Structures are given as C-alpha cells and as structure tokens.
Amino acid sequence: MSLELIIGRITTLLNSVLPILFLLATVVFLWGVILYITAGGDEEKRKEGRNYIIYGLIGLFVMVAVWGIVNVMIGFFFPGGAPITPPPIPIIPGTP
C-alpha cells in the first residue's frame, strides 16, 4: 500500500465526516442559544445553555484549527499540492 493511497483514503474519509461534525457542532451551539434564550429567570437552564454554547464553539474552533494545520502540513510535505485527485462525479444514466 503506497503513501499516496493511504493519504487518499484518509482524505476521502475526512471529507465525508467533516461536514457532519461541523453540522453537529453548529446544532450544539444553536441548541445552547435556544436554551439560554428560553431559560428566562431559571439560572440552572441558563448555565446549561451557556455550557452548550461553549462546547459548540470549542468544537468548531478545534475542527477549523485541525483543518488548517492539516492543510499547512500537506502544503509543506507536498509543495505542488496534495497528490490526490478527487473522484469523478457520478453520472446518472438518462440525465442530460
């Protein structure tokens, strides 16, 4: 198994999972905002909402930071760009 094949498989996996993780972190953040706003005078619910907001922001920050570090490392180790070509877009038979 070559290095390019391993990197290609990891990249494909990350490209599939990353949008789901971003969506999950965004949902956690928004859920925290909703809890915080609807808590009214209940300090316990406000604290719970604030915690969800913090967890969502930390999740988004960590994902963006790791994504940036990986891109810097790919640029460092593969100056011409990643040795990976994206898979072709599937074509459905019978469509124009």
The domains of the chain are located at 3-77
Q: What is the pTM of this model?
A: 0.67
Spatial distance between the Cα atoms of 32 and 51, rounded to a whole number of angstroms: 7
Please, which pLDDT band fits residue 77 given cuts at 50, 70 and 90? confident
Q: Are 82 and 7 in contact (CB under 8 A)?
A: yes
Tokens 């619910």 belong to: 45
In this predicted model, what pLDDT tens digit does every residue of 20-64 receive, in sequence order?
A: 888 999 999 999 999 999 998 899 999 999 999 999 999 999 988
